[in-house]
Amino acid sequence: MPLPQIGWAGRVWALPILTVLAPSEHYATTHHRRHKKLTDWGRQILLLLARWLPEHRLIAVADSSFAAIDLLKAVRSHLCMITRLRRDARLFEPPAPRRPGTVGRPATIGRRQPTPGQRLSDPATRWQRFTVTGWYGQQAREIKLFSATAIWHHPGRQVPIRYVLVRDVAGEFRPQAFLCTDLDADPCDILRWFVRRWSIEVTFAELRRHLGVETQRQWSDVAIRRTTPVPLGLFSLITLWANDLFRDAHPVVRAASWYTKSSATFSHAIASVRRVRWIPKTGPEA
């Protein structure tokens, strides 16, 4: 789902463009098939998008299910990946330069760094205060931030990352840790990009409420593969059609007396598209 800023809605929307059916491990076991992990599906989709859009800089934002070293290592040369970081992640400095005449295999990691959890609890951690705009629907949020680069290492696997630790100044949110495969990315940008991911959850809620996703009842494999992608794509089409309608004029936001709305939502978009696209027929053939 691309995460563009929708001007007439006043916020970021997530627009589905590509779906993949990922059967569960239980399904694979029951049908005697090899199970393909969610991270493998994710790697395949991300590399496909990178091949489709070679001239664009892609920034992929995902939840903690995709915080896997193998996945990050596979895609980091093609796009920037941002996700959550485990608090117990094993972080290391880069290896020291190899001295001439040294015998043996070269080192792949250097000195051990504190884990993100240890950094968060260490009173000596040097925090910087920032104001982040667009924090989960709010205009601005005061946070404390710490960022550094490291090698995330697990026996046999490793990937260089920039990690960001966040504390809420007001204390309403628990401390969080994020990672980015772009070592030169600005920590505030990493946080702003990740916050946009919340729009994906909003899109799923709108799909259930207005387009009937997860309410279908199918009995054939073909129907299962086809039915869910259709409303997902329809959500994006309706948004694009509404964007054409609101190019020169903002939508009229209607609300009940007990529930006020300050900006347009998907219900306004779908109502406006219906009024234009669904032209009732008149005459004997109606």
Let me know whether 184 and 257 are in one domain: no
CA-nearest of 7, 14, 3 to 250 is: 7
The whole-number pLDDT of residue 261 equals 66
Q: What is the pLDDT of residue 255?
A: 64
Burial of 41 (0-12, 13-18, 19+ CB in 10 A): middle
Residues 190, 228: one domain? no
Domain end among 196, 222, 252: 196
- Contact predicate 235/266, CB 8 Å: yes
Which of the listed residues 196, 224, 259 is the one where a domain comes to its end? 196
Q: Are strands 157-168 and 128-133 parallel, antiparallel or unpaired?
A: unpaired
Instruction: Tell me: do 87 and 192 sit in the same domain.
Output: yes
pLDDT at residue number 259: 62
Q: Is residue 169 part of a domain?
A: yes
**Residue 22 domain flag:** no
Residue 139's domain spans which residues?
Answer: 81-94+110-196
Q: Are residues 90 and 187 in the same domain?
A: yes
Whole-model pTM: value is 0.86
Pick the last residue of a domain from 196, 221, 253. 196
- b/e per residue, 215-253, with b = 16+ CB within 10 A? eeeeeeeeeeeeebeebbebbbebbebbbebbeeeebee
- Residues in the chain, pLDDT under 50: 286
Q: In this predicted structure, what is the pLDDT of residue 100?
A: 82
Asked whether residue 11 is assigned to any structural domain, the reply reads no
CA distance 246 to 251: 6
**Residues 261 and 162 grouped into a single domain:** no
Residue 104 lies in a domain: no
Based on the fold, state whether residues 86 and 159 are members of the same structural domain.
yes
- Distance of alpha carbon 107 from alpha carbon 171, whole angstroms: 41
pLDDT reported for residue 106: 83
Are residue 123 and residue 157 in the same domain, yes or no?
yes
- Evaluate whether residue 259 is within a structural domain: yes
Q: Are residues 88 and 165 in the same domain?
A: yes
Residue 165 shares a structural domain with residue 247: no
Q: Is residue 277 part of a domain?
A: no
Residues 176 and 243 grouped into a single domain:
no
Residue 115 resides in a domain: yes
The total domain count for the chain is 2
**What are 229's strand-pairing partners?**
none
- Do 117 and 209 have their domain in common? no
61 in any annotated domain:
no
Q: Is 191 in the same domain as 217?
A: no
